[in-house]
A and B are shown apart, each in its own frame.
Chain A
Amino acid sequence: MADVLFWIDQLGMALALAGGILSVIGSLGVLRFPDLYTRLHAASITDTGAATLMLFGLALMAGFSQEALKLLIAWAFVMLTSPTASHALANAAWSSGQKPKLGAFSLMSGKREPAEADTASGEKGGAP
């Protein structure tokens, strides 16, 4: 029995660590991606995913207790609010005329192909 509890604890730590690593990867994405939508993609998915991993890991470490329940409630709150916030941000950007960058994108040079049209001069999108 004690062995099972030990491994549950280890699993919790591994999940929390994975969540931490995922947040670092997400931050890298926010810094490296070319435009708002891809950056938002990196930020929101890793934000929600990392929070999920960390909160579940912590809940496993807390064991069958009130703390675990509170962590699960916090997770439910994050699952509701974090994607909604990302949606609101993307929606506001699109409504105010921000266009995603399209076309070939060289990962090695980090520069856009020069033939692509300028994204800022696109027509106002999303307006009814």
Chain B
Amino acid sequence: MTEYAPHLDTNTIVNFGLLAMLLAVLVAIVRTRSLLAAVLLMGIYSLISAVWFVVLDAADVAFTEAVVGAGVSTAFLLGAILLTRTESLTKRWQDMVMPGLVCVGAGVLLFYAALDLPLFGDPSAPANAHVGRFYIEETKNDVGVPNIVTAVLASYRGFDTLGETIVVFAGGIGVALMLGFGERSMGDLPPALRSPVMEALAESDHHVVLRSVAKLLIPIIALYAFYVQFHGEVGAGGGFQAGVIFAVAVILHALIFGLADTMDAIPPELARAFAALGVLLYSGVGVINMINGGNFLDYDHLFPLAFEAGLPGSHLSGGYHHWGQHFGIIIIELGVLFTVAATMIAMFYAFAGRAADVVGEGARG
């Protein structure tokens, strides 16, 4: 182990400050009985972690944490709470002994394992010495995109990212299996009962400010999603972040203008179809590579070699453009965008559609 010389520079102070804030929020989450407060505190937790990731120079991860952790998952959890209750049940202490023991045991094991972790920023740590170094040195020759994170995510580790995309897709299907795609309530209920809360919001004159600002912001948010999408090769961002941001624009529309209007604009069938299309697009790129004689998701074989050699500035004819890699990354990121955005929208439809049921049942009973 290398010698550790403690020093207090600004970065260290900010790091410890943010970690202390994370700890404080964590204690608050554990102690609060209100699930609503817990959900909002978890959003704050994600936001602080995102800031911490920025301090650690992990802009892509910070971006994902901010949009997923602090943004859309807070909205989903609020939707879930709307379907259940806002206070957690109080339990007898006897019921909490075993879970408590398991938690303490897991914590002790994690602390024990943490002792073996390399020091923060240690250049000889495995993550920095072997593959990390390889990616940094070879991305320019192998893939030719400026953002190494995107190169690792979409090209070197394209198979892992395919798995993540499928996980998102499977998660959406899981929610749909439990709650439906949201159109059940829309179809069965009379128009008067269609998501009364949101319809009341849209009808009420109190919300003219919200509606004006939302009308202004929704197109900008959607446009920003596409900026993040197509800028992912050169800067922070990519399909996951862009998909979530686009879904947030749609969710904002549903919250302000009513679920029925949003479902007219983006029908649940469309969301379902795009969720599947994204996975198909991603794995389709992999299969095309195999047809052209490469490995699965080896974008160098996205185009037939003779064709790529004829493209201007191709690396096969002495240039520096890896056209197969460029197009492969763009297409699979598009697949990720489709799957993530459509799955998030479908999941929101599922929650919001059931909320209409719950409120409707309350109104009838």
Binding site for B on A (CB under 8 A): 80-81, 84, 87-88, 91, 95, 126, 128
Contacts and interface: CB of A to CB of B under 8 A. Distances in A.
Nearest to A88: B210
A84 B209 contact: yes
A8 to B, nearest CB: 22
B217 interface: yes
B207 A84 contact: no
B206 interface: yes
A95 to B, nearest CB: 7
B322 to A, nearest CB: 27
Contacts of A84: 209-210, 213
A58 to B, nearest CB: 14
Nearest to A94: B206
18 contacts: A80-B213, A80-B216, A80-B217, A81-B213, A81-B217, A84-B209, A84-B210, A84-B213, A87-B209, A87-B210, A88-B207, A88-B209, A88-B210, A91-B206, A91-B207, A95-B206, A128-B204, A128-B205
Nearest to B216: A80
Nearest to B204: A128
B100 to A, nearest CB: 32
A91 B205 CA distance: 11
Interface string B196-211: 0000000011110110
A91 B208 CA distance: 11
Contacts of A126: 206
B186 to A, nearest CB: 25
Contacts of A80: 213, 216-217
A80 B212 CA distance: 10
Nearest to A126: B206
A123 to B, nearest CB: 17
Nearest to B207: A91
B168 to A, nearest CB: 27
Interface in B207-232: 207, 209-210, 213, 216-217
A128 B210 CA distance: 18
Contacts of B209: 84, 87-88
Given A80-B213, A84-B213, 14 more contacts: A80-B216, A80-B217, A81-B213, A81-B217, A84-B209, A84-B210, A87-B210, A88-B209, A88-B210, A91-B207, A95-B206, A126-B206, A128-B204, A128-B205
A91 B207 CA distance: 8
Contacts of B205: 128
Interface in B46-80: none
Contacts of A81: 213, 217
A128 B203 CA distance: 12
Contacts of B210: 84, 87-88
Nearest to A95: B206
A84 B256 CA distance: 12
Contacts of A87: 209-210
Contacts of B216: 80
3 closest residue pairs by CB, A with B:
A84-B213, A87-B209, A91-B206
A80 B218 CA distance: 12
Nearest to A76: B220
B226 to A, nearest CB: 16
Interface string B216-252: 1100000000000000000000000000000000000
A66 to B, nearest CB: 12
A88 B209 CA distance: 8
A80 B213 CA distance: 7
A40 B204 CA distance: 23
Contacts of A91: 206-207
A84 B218 CA distance: 14
A91 B201 CA distance: 11
Contacts of B206: 91, 95, 126
